[in-house]
Structure 1
């Protein structure tokens, strides 16, 4: 046993291990910094190239189909241009149709335009409805819309449409009566001119809104190629108080001689005067014509 102890004591002793470091001390020491990478400088043999987005490969396009030739030659005949004879025939047809149109007992309509132009119609009546029907029927018959001017009159003046319808069938040339204005203030003159053919005689009268006729023959002033007039006209006190414009009609009768019934001197109801004039014209057998012009007085 002693020998074993002596042998062990003679063996070399191991070196002492260093004490372990704590975790806190190990964390306190910073890690060495990382080395920055060096920027690569382009050389002349390697120039910079801008970055481009990747391009999708192009799909081959299908060639467009060739359009067929659409030009088609068509021989379209030009519309026929109406001749003067066509215009005259159409105008006479329109005049005859309007003359025969039935619009009631107090109604008159007449084509005032000439051949070859848009139709215009002037009418006299106490209400508008018959002229609305005339417009519709005319358009259906001739496929064109006429321009219609309606002159609204009083019941006391209804002898004028009857008189005009009777002489409307005459082939005699009509006189042309032109007013300077169609709206005349109360107390102002009504003025204008009358044009007739050479060698003809005219009788002129005014028929007021009450149906009373006034002879205007001695108020006419003869000129070289026309007759002029400038006649002061006013309303009665009751009509002034009403403050409304009232219809007035100037009527001209033209023929180869004077009509005795039309040469009256005192104001006369038109309902008595006009039938007498028609009787004389029928008995004479000569060609007479008549025209009327409308204006409004006062208001």
Structure 2
């Protein structure tokens, strides 16, 4: 009985301990926007458009993010199971801003949809997103996938692969940290059945970045994303810290 009590106490104490730094950080961040607002008479086009994209309701299994914006050109990357919501986004964006965005849609499997909810949730936080670039978007089975990750200093990143069956793999051990960036390069292979069927399937590499380690992201055995990602969100919510995430897509096989 005693150990149970101790565990329960320990668990209760942790969030409280985690709350204080979070609250301090929030208090520190509050005055910043007020300082910036008065000189800004001009409309902030990129910010306006980014928030429009973030708030667009594309239905279930839909995620879109603004990857670059100038006054005359806008690029949007999307993940979803259907193209149709992105077509609606394109026409609505054009009607609102009188500008046709360039939308790249990455079609994913229904088993990967948990990723879209996860990214949408973290996009509500103001934290800077990690920059993730893959060296290619189509990878023959058995070939390496490589990439580069850049984050703001002092932050901790967790790197996951979510495969076409919705299984999450921990890539932290594959990441090579350097002075100003991290890189990875590892071979990836389809299972025998998928390979025999000649399939080309979507894979997602996701980076989650924040001020502290995420315990739930320190897993070793492949875990369904539908179980793992809600656990990670719950922990982020409990810690009241600002986290952000970026996902990139590639097709494996052939």
Question: So what's the TM-score if we normalise by structure 1?
Answer: 0.70
List structure 1 segments (4+ residues) > 4 angstroms apart after TM superposition: 84-88
SS at match of 2:220: coil
1:245 to 192, 200, 204: 200
Where does 1:3-42 land on structure 2 (aligned, <5 Å)?
A: none
- 2:128 maps to 173
Q: Distance in 1 between matches of 2:216 and 2:101?
A: 37
Shift of 1:211: 0.2
Alpha carbons of 1:166 and 1:183: their partners in 2 closer, same or farther (altered >3 Å)?
Answer: same
- 2:90 maps to 135
- 2:60 maps to 105
Structure 2, gaps ≥5 residues long: 1-38
Q: Distance in 1 between matches of 2:209 and 2:42?
A: 28
RMSD: 1.4
Shift of 1:105: 1.0
Q: Distance in 1 between matches of 2:158 and 2:43?
A: 31
- 2:116 maps to 161
Q: Is the CA contact 2:72–2:99 (under 8 Å) kept in the aligned structure 1?
A: no
Question: So what's the TM-score if we normalise by structure 2?
Answer: 0.82
- 2:175 maps to 220
Q: Which has the larger radius of gyration?
A: 1
- RCO comparison, higher one (Cα < 8 Å, 6+): 2
Q: How many residue pairs get matched?
A: 216
Where does 1:185-200 land on structure 2 (aligned, <5 Å)?
A: 185-200=140-155
Shift of 1:116: 3.6
SS at match of 2:69: coil
Shift of 1:100: 1.4
Q: Deviations over 1:262-284 (max 9, x none)?
A: 00010000000000000000010
Alpha carbons of 1:98 and 1:235: their partners in 2 closer, same or farther (altered >3 Å)?
Answer: same
- 1:44 maps to none
Shift of 1:86: 7.1
